[in-house]
A = this chain, B = another copy of it.
Amino acid sequence: MSSTSNHKHTAILDAAYELFGSGGFYETKMSEIAVQAGIAKGTVYLYFKSKEELFMAVTRRDCEGFLQQLQEKLKASDTLSGKLSIIAKHHLYYYYERKRHTKLFFRAPNNNPELVAYMTLFMEEYMQAVVKVLLEGGASEPELMAQSYIGMLDRLKMDILFDPSFMEDDAYKRAGFAAGLFIKGAMDYLNLGQDDRPVE
C-alpha cells in the first residue's frame, strides 16, 4: 500500500516534472499530468492539494536532488580547483541528463510568495555551497565570486538544453572550460598587453 502510494506519488511528480518543465506552469493542464501519469484526474488531487502545490513539490524535489548530489560529489576532491571543476561538471551534467525532460526551465506561477521564497532559499543554498569551497581557498568577495561562477555555468548550460547534438562529452568539456576561465581568467585566452586592465 505504501509502495503503491509512493508509486503514484512519484508517477505524478515525474509527469508534472516533464510537462511543467517542457510546457510551463500555465500551459500544463492537470488533466494532461494525469494522463501522463497514467491515472485519473481526480487522483492527482489525492496526492497534491492543488496545481500550485504540485508545482512546488516538483520544484522542491528537483532542487533538493541537485544540492544533495552536489554535496556528495564534492567529497571526491580536496583542492579548490578540483572542487570548482566538480561544481561545473555537476551543473552542466545535471541539465544534460534532463535535457529530454526539461527544455525550458520552469516557468513558474508568479505571485506565489511561497514559491519565490523557496527559489530564493535554493539559490542561497547553492551559492553557500560554492562560497564554502571558495572560502577554503581564502577568497575575498566569495559571494560575488560564487554568483559569478554559477551564472557562467547557468548560461553555458543553455546550448546543452537546446542543441540536440550535444553529447555528454561536450558537457564535460564545457565544464573544464568554465572552471579554467573562472580560475585563470580571460587573459589566458587573450593577447592582452601588460597594462590593458579593466578600469572601474
Q: Show the binding face of A for B, using Cβ within 8 Å.
A: 23-24, 26-27, 79-82, 84-85, 103-104, 106-111, 120, 123, 134, 137-141, 144-145, 147-156, 158-159, 162, 172-192, 196-200
User: How long is the Cα–Cα vector from A110 to B20 in the complex, in angstroms?
Assistant: 10
Which B residues are in CB contact (< 8 Å) with A175? 200
Number of copies: 4
A177:B144 contact, CB within 8 angstroms = yes
B107:A186 contact, CB within 8 angstroms = no
* 7 interchain residue pairs of minimum CB distance: A185-B185, A151-B155, A176-B200, A24-B110, A138-B191, A81-B198, A179-B198
A110:B23 contact, CB within 8 angstroms = yes
User: How long is the Cα–Cα vector from A179 to B23 in the complex, in angstroms?
Assistant: 36
A82:B198 contact, CB within 8 angstroms = yes
- Which of B155, B158, B189 contacts A141, CB < 8 Å? B189
B177:A183 contact, CB within 8 angstroms = no
B185:A187 contact, CB within 8 angstroms = yes
- Which of B110, B147, B158, B176 contacts A156, CB < 8 Å? B147
User: How long is the Cα–Cα vector from A82 to B159 in the complex, in angstroms?
Assistant: 28
Which B residues are in CB contact (< 8 Å) with A85? 198-200
- Tell whether A186 pairs with B110 under 8 Å between CB atoms, given A144-B174, A155-B151, A198-B85: no
- Tell whether A190 pairs with B27 under 8 Å between CB atoms, given A148-B156, A200-B85: no
Which B residues are in CB contact (< 8 Å) with A84? 198
A186:B145 contact, CB within 8 angstroms = yes
A199:B82 contact, CB within 8 angstroms = yes
**13 interchain pairs, CB-CB under 8 A:** A80-B196, A81-B199, A134-B186, A137-B190, A141-B177, A148-B182, A150-B155, A151-B156, A154-B154, A182-B185, A183-B192, A184-B187, A185-B185
User: How long is the Cα–Cα vector from A120 to B5 in the complex, in angstroms?
Assistant: 42
